[in-house]
Structure 1
Amino acid sequence: MSLRPTLDFLLYDWLKADRLAGRARFADHSRETFDAVLDTCERIAREKYAPFNRLVDTEEPRFDGEKVILPQATHEAHRAYVESGMVSAAQDYDEGGMQLPYTIEAAANGFFAVASVSIGSSLLTKGNANLLMVHGTEAQKAVFARNEFGGRFTGTMCLSEPQAGSSLSDITTRAVPDGDGSEADPLGPRYRLTGNKMWISAGENELAENIVHLVLAKIPGPDGKLVPGTRGISLFIVPKKLVGTDGQLTGERNDVALAGLNHKLGWRGTTNTLLNFGEGRYPVRGGAGAIGYLVGKPHEGLRCMFHMMNEARIGIGMAATALGLAGYYASLEYAKNRPQGRPVGSAGKDPSQPPVRIIEHADIKRMLLAQKAYGEGALALMLQCARLVDEQHTGTPEDADEARLLLEVLTPIAKSWPSEFCLEANSLAIQVHGGYGYTRDFPVEQYWRDNRLNMIHEGTHGIQAADLLGRKVVMEGGRGLQLVAGRINRTIEAALQRPDLAGHANALAQALQHVGAATKAAWATGEPAAALANAVPYMQAFGHLVIAWTWLDVVLTIPADPARRRAADTGRLHAARYFFHYELPRVAAWLKVVETRDPTCADMPEDAF
């Protein structure tokens, strides 16, 4: 089983993505050009990624004292991806791009994540370059962003520090104006950075000529002290190797040094590093510290960086989704071919009867249905978010603003829901395989290990939950939540006209009302500590509401007449039915602690653990 039939259905039958070609930006495109992109990416993923997924898991990146060594397969996969034009696929023609809708780009990248998520599809490089295209100067765009889109450079994001983790207000990396008066450097105001960054994916490698680090650091005040909190954070371009204004390497190494490699549970094919900036290992002439160029205005670094972080969060959601689907495909194939046991009932007790394939057992079907409901539901949500990105950039001003606010609310869900429930799908895939599932003879244990990182990547569950309940659903007077509710109600009204879907519509209406009431109850006292103590259960409930809505909207596309349905339509209807019968009822339990502002967790004394 492959990803392609599901993508085609969601893109064209449900989202009507081919209609994007009617917009001026995409006027040169059609379904034929979209399909050609999907064909190319599917082929590259099949030939250059999938055969080497186990290899990059076992041959981890290693440091030889001078450079990080990656398997040759990783270099060849990266080269094929760059040559396909996918790094700059959504960029303007003038930038060497295809002016491809983000919806199609996101769908195409799904093939690479299913094939081998840790080889990667330049997620951070694209996010890095996209940020610079919005917030960088013309020189920064020309020298750094365009070379990233062209494949000469790769990119990273450097936020976390060993002592601060996700608490960006506590970072201590310093940036001081370069003492030789080079604030007028054509590449931007020049600073010298000193500090340490950790958990930097792709922070050191030889895949391209250069690495462009985007680094959060604080500019000291007149008294030499760092401004506390996030207000003092600025953003800097810190290249691994120094570059001239013509984009060519100067031959001088910047003072960015590898302090160590992190050896991870999963995503082992992606280098993950600790980096030291300005420690003196590669001293740069003219002063101490690594040379960095200010992006945007001083003290607005976090605002700029969120452009990249939000993009990365959707990318992580897609990666988690793809891993869930990869495990589903593997366990479905196994279940269809593994004979074991006999049917329940008197006839099944006869040992002379041949064993049946395990897919004939109801509990195996339960686990496969759960994986399908999680994985395909998450995929639909990710493509829906991608479609909102296109609406934000090419829709009418009113539609674009609505898409912006919908994305604000949905982004924490798009990152976290697949990270939790597609991980559960991977656990079920192991269970379907039985004892074989936790051996390395089968791929499902690796899918689980790879996916376990996604609950932490780009902001943990707790951070996303606090963002959702603490900021997103109450921002702009709760307008974003109202927009989501409006979209859900539209789907409910349409589904009520279908007798086969009316029951689902009523269940979704009840869940929507419950989430709305719980949101108000959580904030009834106006005290953030009380409201946010149960932010994660709130996010789980909200996520289930969104996935139920997504499933209902998807199956509305399926003909009401059973005689007109394909086998795949029946499968989608059963997956939706599973989600509404087995999953949506969980919303009430999660919301109970939210609406009562249950203090159990917050009140637990430390010494009682």
Structure 2
Amino acid sequence: MSSRQTLDFLLYDWLRADELTTRERFAEHSRATFDAVLDTCERLARDKFAPFNRLLDTQEPLFDGQRVQLPQATHDALHAYTATGMLAAAQDAEIGGMQLPCVVEMAANAFFSQASIAIGAYNMLTRGNASLLMAHGTDRQQQVFAAREFAGEWFGTMCLSEPQAGSSLSDIVTRATPDGEDFESDPLGPRYRLVGNKMWISAGEHEITPNIVHLVLAKIPGPDGRLPAGVKGISLFIVPKHRVDAEGKLTGERNDVSLAGLNHKLGFRGTTNTLLNFGEKGGAVGYRVGQPGDGLRCMFHMMNEARIGVGLGATMLGAAGYDASLEYAKQRSQGRAVGAGGKDAAAPPARLIEHADIRRMLLAQKAYVEGGMALALYCARLVDEQHTGDAGSSAAAVTLLEMLTPIAKSWPSEWALEANSLAIQIHGGYGYTRDFPVEQHWRDNRLNMIHEGTHGIQALDLLGRKAVMQGGAGLKLLAHRIDATVARALPQARLATHANALAQALQRLGAATRSAWATASPEDALGNATPYLQAFGHTILAWLWLDVGAAILEGGAADSTANVGRLAALDYFMRYELPKTDAWLRVVESRDRTCRDVPEDAF
């Protein structure tokens, strides 16, 4: 699979991204400028990122007692990336941005995830950090911090988790105390002193840029000195690694943020991952973003975009494994093909790709990976609709994004990982050696089921909140979109059976949602939230694949080699994958108690 070929098809033949240039925000662009951005990023990823992916895996970040040391290749690749202006690609021209559509920006950045996701993580975090400040920060915070991040002068992080709390943000205990009686008069924002510990902070310490902008969740003590309970008491703070003055110039003083240690992970080994201590010497200076208690709402602005990015990153790791296993299957000869001459030891061995089971594994990878790309880009296209569409389409895009974000993050992180597993399987024993890249792809991708909200958290969010919000309005809107694709596909003989299968799956998904909540008990409904998430995700992917298939047939180029492959992947997904939803939904519908009722000592 050529990722560029697939991205071009999805962008232009399916999503019609070039039509966005008729909108005022994107009027200075054309298909040619979009292609130029894609060309630049594809070339840079190939030349500066991909050649060093294995090097960064074997030469992990090292703390020498004073500084974190990274291979020079990391510095070179990131400086080359920032020089392109891609950190600010979607931002206003007035602040140095390109005003690219989100869907084009994400497609362009996909090349870096495929080439070396460990390097690309620094960019994703910085872009998300700065985008949050553009949405929720003051003018001065945007000028001092966000603008420098978009320019690549400083990088950024997000500091949520704590050693004792993990994903349970309501249990964080990092505290932020007003810094003096004049704390509200600081030009950079209300000034506080932070004390606490943050864990799993990617890009939390390095020497790539002269400063790091930490966005930190903390709680402001009440009048009695006690921290507020729950998530509504969480506030958000800018805590720079090095102190700055009101104009953003470095003062030469390091802030009270120290590296407590490096985490050594299964994958993403080229990305520094840290435990950070705030306030070992009295308190790290931080500037509040937004209002007290508004921190989680602000942070989720970054996290929701990051979740789509995590899903696309997982997809591109799946694509890397697919490309490697496809090449291997075409070159490696082993065994004899079943059929005539299959038992003749004198016959020449068959190439792996001639075996039906190898083709099954390749087709599964193709269905997962190209489907994952479609999902991520569809969500990115909704972001553009949210910001530049008319009132009706913008409101619909907001609702659809609410519904699809848990899927955009979780589905690729599970099924592109399965694609990586299949890539190892195709390589046989060689697959789990370091002589081939597929084992690293799997290790890197395994982290994505945990990054930015675990599978279980996404499942609880989907069934516990998104599916029932506003009386199920989001689910109804999504069903309306799926029904439209079914109606579009039914008249086409090639797709009619698939369209009927999707319609039945959608009907059952709706029935399962109602059954899950029939007792109005969250315990009953959410006991099988993860199977619900899996069934929901597969239904969404079946919808997107059917929509892609309809676009292919309507375009009149179904016989091209690329489209024959896409239609085969569509067939595979509808025949091999969509039927899995029945088993997942069965336990949801019955509110099955198997997992809840097993006694602890039975384990």
Normalising by structure 2, we get a TM-score of: 0.99
- Superposed CA offset, 1:378-425 (max 9, x none): 100100000000000000011101000100000000000000000000
On the 8 A contact 1:60/1:268 being kept in 2, the answer is yes
| Contact 2:138 2:189 (8 Å CA) reproduced | yes
Point out where structure 1 has 5 or more consecutive residues left out of the alignment. Answer: 281-287
The answer to whether residue 57 in structure 2 is matched with residue 50 in structure 1 is no
What letter corresponds to residue 438 of structure 2 in structure 1?
V
The 3 A distance-change label for structure 1 pair 33 and 564 is same
Which aligned pairs between 1:307-386 and structure 2 lie closer than 5 A?
307-386=301-380
Whether the 8 Å CA contact 2:175–2:221 is kept in 1: the answer is yes
Superposition deviation, residue 245 in structure 1: 1.6
Q: Quote the residue 2:522 is aligned against.
A: 528
**Which amino acid in the other structure matches residue 385 of structure 1?**
C
Partner of 1:137: 138
- What is the CA distance between 1:564 and its match in structure 2? 5.4
Question: Quick one: distance in 2 between partners of 1:216 and 1:422?
Answer: 31
Counterpart CA distance in 1 for 2:566 and 2:525 is 37
CA deviations on 1:506-535 (whole Å, 9 max, x unpaired) are 000000000000000000111111100100
CA contact (8 A) 2:558 2:564 kept: no
* Structure 1 runs, 4 residues or longer, greater than 6 Å off: 560-563
Matched residue type, 1:10: L
Instruction: Tell me which residue corresponds to 1:104.
Output: 104
Instruction: Give, in angstroms, the shift of residue 226 of structure 1.
Output: 0.6
* Shift of residue 558, structure 1, vs aligned partner: 1.4
Tell me if the contact between 1:234 and 1:301 (Cα under 8 Å) persists in the aligned partners: yes
- Once residues 523 and 476 of structure 2 are traced to their aligned partners in structure 1, the CA distance between those partners, rounded to angstroms, is 24
Per-residue Cα deviation, 1:195-214 (whole angstroms, up to 9, x for no partner): 00000000001111110000
Between the aligned partners of 1:106 and 1:394, the Cα distance in structure 2 is: 17
Amino acid at match of 1:246: E
Structure 1 123/530 Cα, relative in aligned 2: closer, same or farther at 3 Å?
A: same
Whole-angstrom distance in 2 between the partners of 1:563 and 1:97: 37
Q: How far apart are residue 183 of structure 1 and its match? A: 2.3
Question: Could you tell me whether the CA contact under 8 Å between 1:491 and 1:549 is conserved in 2?
Answer: yes
Q: Secondary structure at the match of 1:198?
A: strand
Aligned-pair distance for 1:244?
Answer: 1.2
Measured against aligned partners, the alpha-carbon deviations of 1:298-319 in whole angstroms (never above 9, x if no partner) come to 0111111110110111110011
- Report the Cα distance in structure 2 between the residues aligned to 1:57 and 1:119, rounded to whole angstroms: 11
Cα distance, 1:107–1:499 mapped onto 2, change above 3 Å: same
Describe how 1:16-415 pairs up with structure 2 within 5 A: 16-120=16-120, 122-179=123-180, 181-280=182-281, 288-415=282-409
Q: Give yes or no for contact 1:558–1:565 (8 Å, CA) kept in 2.
A: no
C-alpha root-mean-square deviation of aligned residues, in Å? 1.0
2:579 pairs with 572, 579, 585, which one? 585
Secondary structure of 1:134's aligned partner: helix
Task: For residues 522-568 of structure 1, give each alpha carbon's deviation from its aligned partner in whole angstroms, at most 9, with x where no partner exists.
Answer: 00111111100100000000000000000000111113698852011
Whole-Å separation in 1 of the counterparts to 2:144 and 2:283: 22
Matched residue, 2:468: 474
- Match of residue 450, structure 2, among 456, 465, 468: 456
Write the letter of the residue equivalent to 2:434. Answer: R
Quote the residue 1:434 is aligned against: 428
Q: Which amino acid aligns with 1:68?
A: V
**C-alpha distance in structure 2 between counterparts of 1:199 and 1:247, whole Å:** 27
Q: Partner residue of 1:596? A: 590
Structure 1 561/546 Cα, relative in aligned 2: closer, same or farther at 3 Å?
closer
Three-state SS of the structure 1 residue aligned to 2:120 is: coil
Aligned partner (choices 397, 422, 441) of residue 447 of structure 1: 441
The Cα shift of 1:607 comes to 1.5
CA distances 1:471-518 after superposition (whole Å, capped 9, x unpaired): 011112211111110110000000001011000000000000000000
- Paired with 1:47 and 1:234, the residues of 2 have a C-alpha distance of 42
Q: Gaps (5+ residues) in structure 2?
A: none
Q: Is the 8 A contact 1:559 1:565 kept in 2?
A: no
Cα distance change, pair 298–362 in 1 and its aligned pair in 2 (3 A): same
**In structure 2, which of residues 473, 493, 500 is the aligned counterpart of residue 499 of structure 1?**
493
Q: Name the counterpart of 1:572.
A: 566
Q: Number of matched residues?
A: 602
Matched, 1:518 2:512: yes
Cα distance in 2 for partners of 1:155, 1:520 equals 43
1:346, CA displacement in angstroms?
4.4
Superposition map of 1:545-556 within 5 A: 545-556=539-550
Distance in 2 (CA, whole Å) between partners of 1:188 and 1:346 is 77
Counterpart amino acid of residue 238 in structure 1: V
Aligned residue in 2 for 1:285: none
C-alpha distance in 1, partners of 2:583/2:183? Answer: 60
Residue identity over aligned pairs, in percent, reads 70
What SS does the aligned partner of 2:155 have? strand
Equivalent AA in structure 2 for residue 516 of structure 1: G
Paired residues of 1:254 and 1:290 also in contact (CA < 8 A): yes
| TM-score, with length taken from structure 1 | 0.98
